[in-house]
Chains A and B, each alone.
Chain A
């Protein structure tokens, strides 16, 4: 990292979102990176999972074969896009064949119906975007948050953005699930003020974590403990995406509290109620959403579980829903 200008390091970015209010203190800019080491069945950002840029097809934006039809012939891969018989001449994607489309091909679509999720950027380019709202961070106590996917899968890139931000006096935060080699986390934490980490499923049966998330949480938990101990000046917030029927129960909340409470630099534990707002994006990716029938936790359940956390942190129990 030191051999070259650290701001020249390249990474794969999904999206840069300004004026965020939920990814750390104050008003923030959140940088979403591509690539994830978990496969949560409830994922609301499925376009962030694959490390490489990938096809994004929004059929709504298609003008139709008669008016356009550019994707129905070369240089697009044969059979990648097609039209069904009938009155509706908007194009469909054959995802198994269309995934071979490159960014250059996607740019040929005049309506933007065919696009790509993700693009390559340098840390310097990302930082330029982040610095646009420097005064807002100062006024609101905000800063920059690197999220994902899993931002620690690109440790040099993430560290470079955060280093640049810190050198400009901007508060830095990351959102991570922690399932990476420790060296990746260590490299990034040097430039982090706040680490928000997911404790998704603290079940004694590791197979349950594997079933819903794809791998066990053994390494994540080991990394979190090591991070608390190695970086005493970094603040940590544990978080759980709360899914009724999977982890929205008192036992889970208490298990997370037991895990984090011995460490004074874990300053809070937040619950993120399950939602289905990412559902439409599964269609844009040609993927199937498996949790169609799951509902958000009730306000009463949320209030009850939050009161347990408030009590553990010595706060007066109150509904935050």
Chain B
């Protein structure tokens, strides 16, 4: 087994607050082992196109740099809009755009830089890409991060607590506004496949209803429930809806008409917003508000937290988790736990094969404890 002398840290696409804390945890632990630590700029771009960057696309993460990092931020290494070395957009010899597989270039450059292992901070598609790189020989450990907490194999991903705290604060404000205006506020929170943010923030804010992607929402049923809650003493309500929620019995839905333009310009035109279209931020709040407005006498308005949730300063919980995930991952590299992902099962951080987290989504089950808590508090969940 080769002794590790140098490791790299890479951050997948997308923004999560406080990633510096993971970098600090990993680097401090690695420095203690006597390793050199570098960061790859902008996802994998730094090592795919080293000529574009200073210092061949790497950032020194030595003790002095680490001591000056702000753990609340995520600004140490930059991010990439996409992080797929198997599908990199380039300009070819005929000066035309093409997407090419540059995974071999990446792995060669990792080798050329004498990098013995990579800590990859990933979510979503990043896991599949890392899995493919691992199959080609990359020695990596993955740290899960997502504000939606929907990654399988770990009950708590980095970034969720910060997003949850922000959502609760915003729901408190939305509730004050709804009370004041005597209206029904429908607040959309992130959650394309799982309703953890909606459910947990909705419980904390004592919302009237929480709608999650796991349980298609019958808007008639929800409207009846809200009717029973709205009284002269309480002429307002707060509904929390996850962005990936789906709805049945929507009132007044009309079939789209096929315009001449549509027929003319697209050889196999499909519906504009089908159920398989990637969900648009704000669509769930808008759809549900419009439906409730038609079914209730009260005024309903949508609010969307969307990208606001992914910014800001990290919470104490995430800061601790980031440091712990980072430190444990450096240790995992030392123990040759390559091809694994960190998982936090309080109070322990463990490592599971990355493949255990692929093609799975951690979703809210109808028997989950949080559903029971919501029901005990009288919050409508549709379950």
Contact = CB atoms under 8 A, between A and B. Distances in A.
Interface string A147-182: 000000100000000000000000000000001110
B165 to A, nearest CB: 28
B267 A37 contact: no
A206 interface: no
Most A Cβ at <10 Å: residue of B98, B355, B359 = B359
Nearest to A38: B97
Contacts of A104: none
Interface in B337-383: 355, 358-361, 363
Interface in A10-29: 14-15, 17, 20-23
Contact of A277 (B86, B272, B358): B272
Nearest to A20: B264
A94 B128 contact: yes
Interface stretch (A80-88, A195-203, A248-256): A80-88
B261 interface: yes
A60 B265 contact: no
Measured as residues with beta carbon below 8 angstroms from the partner, the interface class of chain B is 35 or more
A96 B265 contact: no
A44 B278 contact: no
Given A277-B269, A278-B266, A214 B276 contact: no
Contacts of A141: none
Most A Cβ at <10 Å: residue of B214, B265, B277, B360 = B265
Interface in B273-311: 273-278, 280
Contact of B359 (A32, A82, A272): A82
B103 to A, nearest CB: 11
A215 interface: yes
Interface string B258-272: 001110111111111
Interface stretch (A124-132, A224-232, A279-287): A279-287
Given A45-B267, A94-B128, A280-B277, A275 B261 contact: yes
A153 B323 CA distance: 51
Interface string B110-133: 000000000000000100110110
B275 to A, nearest CB: 8
B267 A32 contact: yes
Contact of B84 (A92, A96, A272, A276): A96
B359 to A, nearest CB: 4
Question: Taking chain A's interface residues, is the majority helix, strand, or loop, or is none over half, making it mixed?
Answer: loop
A264 interface: no
B264 A21 contact: yes
Interface string A48-91: 00110000001110000000000000000001001011100000
Contact of B270 (A37, A94, A214, A277): A277
Interface residues of A, number: 53
B343 to A, nearest CB: 18
Contacts of A45: 266-267
A303 B39 CA distance: 54
6 contacts: A17-B267, A84-B361, A96-B84, A96-B86, A214-B97, A280-B273
Given A39-B97, A278-B269, 7 more contacts: A45-B266, A79-B359, A84-B361, A94-B358, A96-B129, A280-B277, A292-B280
Interface of B: 84, 86, 89, 91, 94-99, 125, 128-129, 131-132, 193, 214, 260-262, 264-278, 280, 355, 358-361, 363
Interface of A: 14-15, 17, 20-23, 30, 32, 37-39, 44-45, 47, 50-51, 58-60, 79, 82, 84-86, 92, 94-97, 153, 179-181, 214-215, 219, 272-273, 275-284, 288-289, 292-293
Which 9 residue pairs are nearest across A and B when measured between Cβ atoms?
A: A280-B270, A22-B264, A82-B359, A96-B128, A37-B96, A277-B269, A277-B262, A15-B267, A283-B276
